[in-house]
Structures are given as structure tokens and as C-alpha cells.
Amino acid sequence: MSRRVIVTTIMLLLCLSGVIGQSKEARLKIAHLTEDFYVFTTFGSFKGLTITANGMYVVTAAGVVLFDTPWDTTQFQPLLDSIRVRHGKDVILIIATHFHDDRTGGLEYYKQKGIRTYTTRKTDELSSQRGQKRAEFLIDKDTLFNVGQYSFQTYFPGEGHTKDNIVIWFERERILYGGCLIKSITDHDLGNLSDASVKDYPGTIRNIQRKCKRAKYIITGHNDWTSLKSLDHTLRMAEMLQKE
């Protein structure tokens, strides 16, 4: 085999490898938020449309804490692998913010990996009723977690997207992880309302505004998460829905 053929073959293999790598990478995106905080995005389907699903993790001295699991079941392990390669640390704790499968889908998979998984007791009840994945440990009330150098609180502000939706508040860093309760500035409606409490939604958002003041970052459950106007935007849509 000539040198030219060998070089051409190697280049072709490298190109194919790059295409395959890009294809896999496109199913899982990780973006740096600030300091030790990262947003990961996977993809799922709703009413025939492909929709992004955002989660968050923080890298602590004790290990990595994950908020919500990937929606795409093929990305459960790749997320762990990516975190390990990028940060040299393992995920040690996961908290899901409500019972829908774009938040809880990976709980049992990660539990089998020896990772501590948490939901509220209300989320566990709904997960059990709906046949969704369940966590190993349950939270009975708003709880302050201390992991490594970081502290954060789980907060149930009231019913909205679901009866069990919670948010995560890093008070010192002013980071609010809102999950699906808070809608993206690019959303034109409140999305999936099949389990929603429409009458309570505005009051729930106002509770978050009072609790989580001067947030520097607000992470939404779907679509673009970079705007600080997402809370106000969600409140406006919730108020408009009540008037209809």
C-alpha cells in the first residue's frame, strides 16, 4: 500500500471519528455558568417536537452535586463520564426537582451507581403513582444542604408547573435553579400544564421572587437559560392565563 493511500485512509478515519464524536456530543451539551457551576442540556420529545432539557451541577471539594437528571436516557452514563473527565471528580448526590421524567428519569440508574439520590416526599408519592423513577432518600421540608464549600437550600414555593415542584437556591452565590417551574424568556406559554395548578402559579412565582432576591443567574428547565428576566416573564404568562 502506497504512502499516499495510507495517509488518505488515516485522514478519512479521523474525519469519520470527528463526525461520530460530534453526533454524540450534540446529544449532551455542557456550558460553564460561573465558578464551579455548570449547566448541562439534553434533548427529549414533547408533542412531536424536540425540546431541550436543562440541568445543573456544581463541583465541590467533596464531589459533584447534580440537579435533575438527563431527559435523554442514552446520556445518563455519558454525563457521568464527561464530568469525570472534565473535573476529575465523581457525582455524589442528585436532587430531582419534580416527578416528570425529564427530571427523575435517571434516578434509579444513578442509585445503582452508588450515588445518593433525593426528591421530596411529595415527588416520591407522585412518582410512585405515575410509575416514574424514584429516589433513595426523601426530603420532608425545605432543607439546607452543605456539600464541600457550598451551601444550598431546597425550596417549595407552592404549586405551579406541578404540585411538587421545588427550586434550588444558592444564597451566597445568588444562583437560582428553577427547573420547569420557571419558563425561558423564549417560551411563549407555560408549556406542559397537564399536572399544573394554574390558579396557584402566579403566587408561587411571587414567593420565589421574595425568597430569592437579586439572583445573578436563573436556570430554567427548558430552552434558553441566560436571561435574568425569566421570573418576570413566567409571572406575566401565569397572570395572563388566569384572565383567559
The residues annotated as belonging to the active site are: 98, 100, 102, 161, 192
Bridge partners (DSSP) of residue 51 are: 44
CA 82 to chain CA centroid, Å, is: 16
Residues pairing with 83 in the sheet: none
State the sign of the Cα–Cα–Cα–Cα dihedral 80, 84, 86, 92.
positive
Q: Which residue has the cell 443567574?
A: 217
C-alpha distance from residue 114 to each of 89, 92, 94, 195 (Å): 14, 8, 11, 31
From the list 59, 142, 135, the residue with the least C-alpha distance to 103 is 135
Rounded to whole angstroms, the Cα distance separating 236 from 110 reads 37
The rounded distance, in Å, linking the Cα atoms of 34 and 189 is: 29
How far are the Cα atoms of 23, 161, 163 from residue 182, in angstroms, in the given order?
29, 8, 14
230 burial class (0-12, 13-18, 19+ CB within 10 angstroms)? buried
Pure H helices in the chain: 3-25, 76-87, 101-104, 107-112, 121-130, 201-211, 230-243
